[in-house]
Every structure is written in C-alpha cells, then in structure tokens.
C-alpha cells in the first residue's frame, strides 16, 4: 500500500529505528506529536508524545475503569468490553501506513531475549480501559487518519492475548471506515477469528527466526504457529476466502541480532517463507522490515529486576544489515 508517509527504500521507519537502533538513519523522521494546527484542524488532539522507545507514554487521556470490582472486570474482559492496556501513542511512518494511533496491550506468551517491552508481558500490569473509551479515541482522530491515510494499530505485548477486546476494537474501527493493523508474533494466530481477520487490513508479522531451535531460544516458544498463521493470512485472500473481497496485507518484521538471528541460512529460511506467502497469493507480503537490534530496552529489564541476557550483544554493523536486507531482496521482496 502506497501512502503519503511510506519511507523511501533503505530508510527505516522512525520508531522502528528507535526501537532496535539503526546506524545511519538519524535523518529518519521522528514520530511527531499531532496537533490540530499541524493538520489544519482546531480540535485539541492531545496525543502523548512518542518517546524514543517502543511503547507509548501510558494511558493519559483515556479514562480507566479502576472502580469496577474484580468480578465485573473479569466478566467485561471476557466479553471484550474491557481490555488491559499498557499505553497508546500517535506515530507517523511506523506501525503501518500514514499516521497511526498505536495501542499497546498487555500480556504476551513469548519471552523474547531482546524484548523492549518487558513491562507489557503480564496482563495484570495493564490499565483497565473499555472498548468504548478506546473507540472514542479512534473517532477523535478520524480527521488525522483521513488526512494521512493512516489508521489504528493494535500492538503489545501480544494483541491476540485479548482476542475478545481486539475483536470489538477492530469491528468498531471498521464501522468508522478506519484502516486497521495488527502487530503480532502470530504465535496465538488461532485466536484470530475469521470475523476479526475480515476486519483487519494489515498484519505486521514478527518472524523472529526461520530456525525452530533458534526461535525457541529467542522466544521460549515454538515457531510453527507463526508460520501457519502467515499461510492462513495468504490463503484468506484467495477466491472464497474470508478476506477475498479485501485481501489482508502482510509486512514481515525481522529483528536482526548479532550472534542470534544473523546466520545467513536462517535468514534465507525466513526470506523463502515470506516469498512462499506471495506464491500462495501474489501481493500478500508487500514489505519486509529488517530491524537492527539495539540496547534501548535494557534499562527496562533492569528496572524490573530481570536478568537481561544480551548485555554484551552489539548492534549489527551496516554491512550485516545490508547483507540481510539483500537476502530478502534476492527473493523478490520489498525491503526496508
């Protein structure tokens, strides 16, 4: 999908660069704070300013349902009326086309060694926010989305830890005509119903390794559910499929960690996999983002008192990043 804010080839989207660190992209546009003036509107769009890390600045501006008792909270979470939300932010050129309202949900079944969001891993650590409250926030940014061809991105943690909540948000956003994106590892892809899939325009699919043993070492979980989920996304857009009318688009994300995910043969497996999705349905994978590892998440681990195993791991050098990007390009993929 071509958008106003799609970065030029070779650039890395702003927060992705901040998230994993990229040498030589200092000129990439920083996530900007949206204001009414910036878009010619006079409404007070009080988005939290995106800090130079993966998650937003908390749930400021959203009402939280703190007063509910535990029983009511659990019932509302089961029905999807209530979610556990870490934060939200408004970003451009990151997490999908145009300007995005990205919402980070709490809870994740993976334990990635390089996780930049260790404070999102536990569902109990999030803030209780109703689907109605979040959709009111989406509605507020409709002019921004229209002006930039942007939309809503649900991220985490792992968005599919809260499928009922995600389903309500996706359906509500689609009713408003908003472009929707899911940022997911795909491990819980089975939690995505066909109805949710039909309400999803783009999936950012994080494939953390092409080698099952390395995937397990990196995440603590198995690779296969992610691969199965990606194939389902491709097949869903075929004639008779659940997204046949409006085929879901996929961006593959690959975090490049020296000594962990840089083996050429493992990268080739991911590249072959991405290309195979386009063999199932041409045009499924429209972008591959190679995201160089950086140490920016380390302080969060220390704050949480958790052992961080990648303390001595360097960021990949430019040659390595270029080599890996070229491996994906060699399979006919569009790479950033």
| CB-nearer residue toward ligand SF4: 157 or 189 | 157
| CB-nearer residue toward ligand SF4: 120 or 181 | 120
Query: Nearest approach, Cβ of 283 to ligand SF4 (angstroms)?
Result: 26
Query: Nearest approach, Cβ of 179 to ligand SF4 (angstroms)?
Result: 22
Query: Nearest approach, Cβ of 220 to ligand SF4 (angstroms)?
Result: 8
Q: Cα separation of 245 and 233, whole Å?
A: 13
| CB-nearer residue toward ligand SF4: 126 or 156 | 156
Closest of 141, 148, 146 to residue 5, by C-alpha? 148
Closest of 157, 156, 180 to residue 167, by C-alpha? 180
Neighbours of 317 (CB within 10 A): 12
Question: End-to-end distance of the chain based on CA atoms, in angstroms?
Answer: 14
Q: Cα separation of 271 and 280, whole Å?
A: 15
Residues that bind ligand SF4 (CB under 6 A): 108, 110-112, 115, 117, 120, 156-158, 185
| CB-nearer residue toward ligand SF4: 145 or 301 | 301
Contacts with 72 (C-beta within 8 Å, 6 or more apart), sequence order: none
Query: Nearest approach, Cβ of 147 to ligand SF4 (angstroms)?
Result: 30
* C-alpha 76: how far from chain center: 25
Query: Nearest approach, Cβ of 289 to ligand SF4 (angstroms)?
Result: 14
| CB-nearer residue toward ligand SF4: 135 or 182 | 182
Enumerate the H helices of 80-193 as residue ranges.
Answer: 131-140, 142-148, 163-175
């Amino acid at each position: 999908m071509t958008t106003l804010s799609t970065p030029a080839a070779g650039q890395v989207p702003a927060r992705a660069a901040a998230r994993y660190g990229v040498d030589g992209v200092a000129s990439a546009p920083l996530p900007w704070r949206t204001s009414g003036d910036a878009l010619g509107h006079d409404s007070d769009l009080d988005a939290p300013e995106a800090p130079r890390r993966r998650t937003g600045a908390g749930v400021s501006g959203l009402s939280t349902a703190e007063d509910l008792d535990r029983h009511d909270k659990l019932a509302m979470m089961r029905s999807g009326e209530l979610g556990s939300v870490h934060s939200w932010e408004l970003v451009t050129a990151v997490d999908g086309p145009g300007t995005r309202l990205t919402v980070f949900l709490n809870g994740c079944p993976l334990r990635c060694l390089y996780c930049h969001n260790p404070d999102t891993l536990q569902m109990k650590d999030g803030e209780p926010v109703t689907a109605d409250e979040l959709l009111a926030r989406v509605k507020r940014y409709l002019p921004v989305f229209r002006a930039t061809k942007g939309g809503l991105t649900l991220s985490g943690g792992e968005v599919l830890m809260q499928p009922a909540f995600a389903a309500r948000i996706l359906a509500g956003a689609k009713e408003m005509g908003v472009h929707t994106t899911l940022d997911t590892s795909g491990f819980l892809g089975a939690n995505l119903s066909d109805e949710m899939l039909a309400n999803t325009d783009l999936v950012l699919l994080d494939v953390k390794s092409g080698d099952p043993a390395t995937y397990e070492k990196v995440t603590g979980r198995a690779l296969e559910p992610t691969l199965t989920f990606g194939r389902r996304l491709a097949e869903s857009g075929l004639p008779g499929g659940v997204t046949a009318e409006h085929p879901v688009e996929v961006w593959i994300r690959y975090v490049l960690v020296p000594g962990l995910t840089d083996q050429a043969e493992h990268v080739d497996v991911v590249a072959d996999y991405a290309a195979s999705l386009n063999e199932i349905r041409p045009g499924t994978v429209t972008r591959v983002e190679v995201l160089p590892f950086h140490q920016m998440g380390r302080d969060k681990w220390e704050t949480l008192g958790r052992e961080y195993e990648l303390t001595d791991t360097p960021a990949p050098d430019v040659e390595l990043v270029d080599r890996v990007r070229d491996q994906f390009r060699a399979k006919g993929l569009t790479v950033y």
